[in-house]
Structure 1
Amino acid sequence: MMNQIVQGILLGGYYALIACGLSFMFSVMRIINLAHGSLAILSAFALWLLASRFHISPFLGLVIVLPLMAVIGWALQRFLLERSARGGALLPILTTFGLAIVIDNVLFEQFGADTRSLAPFIGSLSYDSWEWPGSIYVGKLAVIIFVAAVVLLGGLQLFLTHTGLGRSIRATSEDPDTAGLVGVDARRANTIAAAIAMVTVGLAGAFLGMRATFDPYAGATQLLFAFEAAVIGGAGSLWGTLIGGIVLALAQTLGATVHPQGFLIGGHVAFLIVLFIRLYTSGLGLRGLLGLAAGKAS
């Protein structure tokens, strides 16, 4: 049992990493980016292309891919999300949904349906492990991913709390109109936040490619894991994202010990339990949801 708990905690580090960008964009711009998983897969394919054709290590390839992802985030906010947000809260979600479809199909057109992995390009790191007391084997890559998640989330928290730009982004997320009155450029803050979010997505895509296989349509699964981890931890909370990722991974790991198909079911059950707890503790509940839906319909 202890081995499953340790493996679940380490897997939670990856889920926190993939959920970080989703949670960050929601906390700043109140936008749920449905292209989140597809953009992570795009990053993984970019690193695979650099490694397979130009023999560039995936770790070295991050020097190229992460700035590229930042540019994609800047363009996404400036030319799509900013304009679509003027049409209401639903339009940006539909925009990112359409973007995900475009990315998935372009990747399929270029690379086909075959699965790929970055594991062959990182040597023994993909399977090396340490032996801990109690015959517990811990993968080196899994530890690196967990540490990267903690460092990334901690760094973002420090950035938002102790830097002028970070405070500007926080002020914009709270009230962009009031922030503008005190000299904060809300448009610039949102653009920088989107670029930062895409850098985290690029990093998550890199580790996805190193620890597992991926294909052009794998983005939907990664989006689901990211969304569940973010909701469990509290959407918009950076450290909560880490906790949510660990809870999701532990539920999946323990579910797999009960039944071979319990891996995904365990995670979904944990997500639904936390979701309903949040709904009822907020005083909304099922009747409130139905009443809200009826009010909007009328």
Structure 2
Amino acid sequence: MVWFEQIFQGALLGGYYALIACGLSFMFSVMGVINLAHGSFAVAAAFGLWAMAEYTGISPLYGWIVVLPAMALTGVAFQGLVLDRSTRAGFLIPVLSTFGLSICIDNILFEQFGADTRSLAPYIDDLSYESWELPNGVFVGKLAAYIFLAAVTLIGGLQVFLSRTHLGRAIRATAADRDTAGLVGIDAGRINIYATAIAMVTVGIAGATLAMRATFNPYSGGPQLIFAFEAAVIGGTGSLWGTLIGGIVLGVAQSVGAQLNPQGFLIAGHAVFLIVLVARTSFGRLVDRWRLIMTPKAAA
């Protein structure tokens, strides 16, 4: 029963990892950009909600109405000022640009808020610790369950948006072939602005959940980026539902690792990530070799 509870709690934790990895995977699948400022943007959204709760008394449950549009506008500026220019110079420049931007965001947050840890738990009443009791003494935290539900809803909503709406299909067409999309009248630059704004809204949601479920400080972006990257890679980079699966696998691995050893929480998660990465790399090499072997035969 102990192991069942650890796996169950790990799966709920995976919902948070999927939520924070969603925007990272979305941006990579649409624009081929690895945004290293992803975690820092999430922390900035968390500080935005905390500042409103602390200085104006606005509940975080209503602060989203302000923060999410602000994150969308941030995405528009981010695309126009950073990504649009850097992506013209190849794959490496956007990586370096977003890395430098993450350092700037972290230090601005440090200058404004100091190094103290913050949390939204005091502003959401008993939601931060209330739970449901299941049979056999298994407890499910309400906040963890709501976060998992939010992850499923967000990923499902994005999937429907990409497949059923005109803008979503335009985003998919631009991701598949930017030049061909332009030939049929799709403005790739405008579409990328919309895509970045959507991705930043998901980052804002992830930042809000980070602030409610744990403590954070100006330099919490780095660990969040690592968790998001691992969940995205485990589930398959560019796959939204794969991101959910990857988050669950990562969360379960960390939960089981913590049960085996107090220091096994992070180690188990990193180990699973490395195993998946090596397995995929090896499989890719086998596929390439098989193609090289079979191509001459096919030609003959």
**TM-score, normalised relative to structure 2:** 0.94
Please give the alpha-carbon distance, in whole angstroms, between the structure 2 residues aligned to 1:175 and 1:221: 33
Amino acid of the residue matched to residue 123 of structure 2? F
Amino acid of the residue matched to residue 241 of structure 1? T
SS of corresponding position for 1:134: helix
How far is the alpha carbon of 1:87 from its aligned partner?
1.1
SS of corresponding position for 2:285: coil
How far is the alpha carbon of 1:161 from its aligned partner?
0.3
Gaps of 5+ in 2: 288-300
Matched, 1:236 2:238: yes
SS of corresponding position for 2:136: coil
Equivalent in the alignment of 1:130 = 132
Please give the alpha-carbon distance, in whole angstroms, between the structure 2 residues aligned to 1:250 and 1:275: 17
Which of 54, 57, 62 pairs up with 1:55? 57
Deviations 1:15-53 (A, max 9, x none): 000000000000000000000000000000000000000
Equivalent in the alignment of 1:249 = 251
Alignment of 1:29-178 (within 5 A): 29-178=31-180
State how many pairs are aligned.
286
Please give the alpha-carbon distance, in whole angstroms, between the structure 1 residues aligned to 2:68 and 2:205: 7
Change (3 A) 1:284 1:28: farther
Amino acid of the residue matched to residue 225 of structure 1? F
SS of corresponding position for 1:131: strand
How far is the alpha carbon of 1:284 from its aligned partner?
6.8
Deviations 1:4-25 (A, max 9, x none): 0110010000000000000000
SS of corresponding position for 2:126: helix
Please give the alpha-carbon distance, in whole angstroms, between the structure 2 residues aligned to 1:59 and 1:204: 14
Please give the alpha-carbon distance, in whole angstroms, between the structure 2 residues aligned to 1:232 and 1:131: 31
Equivalent in the alignment of 1:182 = 184
List 4+ stretches of structure 1 deviating above 6 A. Answer: none
Please give the alpha-carbon distance, in whole angstroms, between the structure 1 residues aligned to 2:286 and 2:273: 18
How far is the alpha carbon of 1:78 from its aligned partner?
1.2
Instruction: Among all aligned residue pairs of Structure 1 and Structure 2, give the percentage whose two residues are the same amino acid.
Output: 66
Which of 259, 262, 266 pairs up with 2:261? 259
Equivalent in the alignment of 1:292 = none
How far is the alpha carbon of 1:56 from its aligned partner?
0.3
**TM-score, normalised relative to structure 1:** 0.95
Deviations 1:142-186 (A, max 9, x none): 000000000000000000000110000000001100000011111
Please give the alpha-carbon distance, in whole angstroms, between the structure 1 residues aligned to 2:189 and 2:115: 39
How far is the alpha carbon of 1:81 from its aligned partner?
0.4
